[in-house]
Structures are given as structure tokens and as C-alpha cells.
Amino acid sequence: IGNNFHSGKFITIRTSYHNYDAGEALPYDSTWVTKDVTIGENVWIGEGVTILAGVTIGEGAVIQAASCVTSDVPPLAIAGGHPAKVFKYRDKDHYYRLKEQGKFF
């Protein structure tokens, strides 16, 4: 998790899931698949968000409340929904100007 990370309450970050694809039983076995979650600096995650194993959330991204992040979110993206999809991007010039000036909340 990068510097200046902000989040609402009740977020869940999952770093593992049941081995349903290569296990020795159905629907899954007793082993787990583990993957890192990476969250860049200045990321804001809304209340009630779930982030699944293997996801990277890029610098300056914003995740809408109650979303389920199942795949990577690019830097400066604003994403939300089930599964979370990018629907907008932050103003790049404005973001980097504030960052350069050290204006953090």
C-alpha cells in the first residue's frame, strides 16, 4: 500500500482464493492460490469495497464505494461497480501539479 492511502470503512482485501481450477477435488480442494494485491500512492478507496487477489490499483486511482475490484485499475482511473470498471480518469496535469506542490490531505 502506497503513501497517502485513504479508504472508507469496511474494505476487504483478499490475497488468496480456493483452488478451483487445478485442485484435486470439486468444486475446490483444501489448497489455496495466493497472489499479491498492490495499491499505489494517493489511492482513495470508498466504503465497503472488496479487492480480490492479484489486483493492482494504480497511483491516484479512486474506487467507488461498494465496488468489487476483480482486475487491475490503471493510474488516475476512477472505477466502480460489480465488477469495477473504469468510467472516468482524473485530470492528469492537475493531479501531478498538486503532487509536485506537496498538497496532500
pLDDT block averages, 10 residues each, the chain of length 105: 98 96 93 97 98 98 98 98 98 98 95
Cis peptide before 27 (omega within 30 of 0): yes
Q: Which amino acid is at 58?
A: G
Return the ∠ at Cα 55 (arms to 26 and 52), rounded to 5°: 45
pLDDT the model gives residue 26? 95
105 CB burial (10 A radius; 0-12, 13-18, 19+): exposed
Please report the pLDDT score of residue 98 as a whole number.
98
18 among known catalytic residues: yes
Given 6, 18, 82, 94, which residue is catalytic? 18
54 within 8 A of 37, measured Cβ to Cβ: yes
Q: Please tell me the predicted confidence (pLDDT) of residue 33.
A: 96
